[in-house]
Structure 1
Amino acid sequence: MVSSAATPKGERRRQALVASAAELLLEGGFDAVRHRAVATRADLPLASTTYYFDSLDDLIACAVELNGNADMEAMRARVAAVTQRRRGAESTVELLVELLLGDEEKRPESRERLISRYERFVACARHPALRDVQLRLRAQLDDLLTDALRRSGRTAPEGQLRRLVAMVDGAMITALGEYDPDPRGLARGMLLESIDVMAPPVV
């Protein structure tokens, strides 16, 4: 990164570019993030995208992390509000669905956020710059889910937690791809069948 990005003006411009790229990601996916589109959205000169970032992949990685961190902050606030009590299968599943997939009623843009999230997973296979971002976000997700299950009187070993999330991810990719009108319902049903095995109540 060039040294001028460390100045207050440079940092403001850099953050404006990242925020603009993050908005474009949610609106149109990775294909929507282009130098000209980002600069126009940020109301900055076209050359600023290459001045403040080493490459388009570098800018995209920053935008992905910004969106991912926003999701983590929302999840962190929700987990902090979870009361400590023993929960049955249905209430635990409802909590997990809300955490993993968002509250559709409170966040009408959540479908686009879900699409962006799963696009990010696939993009990591093609863009090495995204892998470290994904690993950091995944570590935060694991910690938050572990805390939510603990507050619900349940526990899930790391391997089981990964399987639980992978099951939801697989269901959502299928549902979003087929434009299922109730993707959360599909994930909810799968979780109900396995939650007591994958995250059993603490004895």
Structure 2
Amino acid sequence: MATGHTDPQRRARILDATLDVIADEGIAQVSHRRIAARAGVPLGSTTYHFQGIDQLLREAFGRFTDRMAELFDAHLGAAADRDQALEAVADLVHALSEGGRRDLVLAQELYTLAARDPAYRTLTQAWMQRSRAHLEKHFDPDTARQLDALIEGLTLHRALAVEPHGRALTVEAISRITAAAPADRAQP
């Protein structure tokens, strides 16, 4: 294996391995040894590239929230009007809830950390702000906040349900929230 100086992808592999360990074994099982083994790097690489587990976790979760925000961007970024935005929200809920269990577990692990440690709330806050920015192109800020919470709630309920609800219920929930939303307060 290449040394740290000639392996420009090593740091990224360590971050990805950190997320893999969290998703597969839980945050309580995160250790330099497990991460190094998962990344296929020498144990010393984790401490060479990161000052400690906390930095590793923050950067790994930052990588995760960036990827999730990009997924949100992909669904909502192309919406040209309010109707397209409504469809994009429904598509996003179903794409997130039908995806692999990995992202669901990572999100819940991050939420738990953020509930306990304010340093992680900066990650979740930035993620929420980025998500809402697309929604605020078509809806006022209060409606965007409600839709953002609805996306997370419906995604979680669909992902964990033995018999997930269908698209019709998702669309109805979105319609109820947006029906009273003032169209003229939406940002251009």
* TM-score, length of structure 1 as denominator length: 0.70
1:22 aligned residue (13, 16, 19): 19
Q: CA RMSD in A?
A: 3.1
Decide whether aligned partners of structure 1 residues 15 and 112 sit closer, same or farther in structure 2, where only a CA change above 3 A counts: closer
The alignment status of 1:73 with 2:70, answered yes or no, reads yes
Match of 2:130 in 1: 140
Match of 1:182 in 2: 164
- What does 1:36-47 align with in structure 2 at a 5 Å threshold? 36-47=33-44
SS of 1:44's partner is coil
Which AA in structure 1 matches 2:42?
Answer: P
Deviation at 1:57, TM superposition (A): 1.9
- What does 1:134-173 align with in structure 2 at a 5 Å threshold? 134-147=124-137, 149=138, 155-156=139-140, 158-173=141-156
Asked if the contact 1:26/1:116 (under 8 Å) is kept, the reply is yes
Which AA in structure 1 matches 2:163?
Answer: P
Structure 1: gaps spanning 5 or more residues: 1-6, 150-154
- What does 1:51-70 align with in structure 2 at a 5 Å threshold? 51-70=48-67
Which AA in structure 2 matches 1:145?
Answer: L
Deviations, residues 119-163 of structure 1 (Å, cap 9, x unaligned): 31222022333222222222211112223x2xxxxx22x233223
Decide whether aligned partners of structure 1 residues 103 and 173 sit closer, same or farther in structure 2, where only a CA change above 3 A counts: closer
The alignment status of 1:130 with 2:112, answered yes or no, reads no
Match of 2:102 in 1: 112
Cα distance in 2 for partners of 1:85, 1:172 equals 23
Structure 2: gaps spanning 5 or more residues: none
* TM-score, length of structure 2 as denominator length: 0.75
Match of 1:98 in 2: 91
Decide whether aligned partners of structure 1 residues 194 and 20 sit closer, same or farther in structure 2, where only a CA change above 3 A counts: same
Which AA in structure 2 matches 1:94?
Answer: E
Asked if the contact 1:40/1:46 (under 8 Å) is kept, the reply is yes
Number of matched pairs: 181
Deviation at 1:61, TM superposition (A): 1.1
Cα distance in 2 for partners of 1:33, 1:16 equals 15
Deviation at 1:11, TM superposition (A): 5.5
Asked if the contact 1:124/1:130 (under 8 Å) is kept, the reply is yes
Asked if the contact 2:23/2:106 (under 8 Å) is kept, the reply is yes
Cα distance in 1 for partners of 2:37, 2:157 equals 34
Cα distance in 2 for partners of 1:78, 1:137 equals 15
Asked if the contact 2:89/2:151 (under 8 Å) is kept, the reply is no
Decide whether aligned partners of structure 1 residues 194 and 180 sit closer, same or farther in structure 2, where only a CA change above 3 A counts: farther
SS of 1:103's partner is helix
Cα distance in 2 for partners of 1:188, 1:117 equals 23
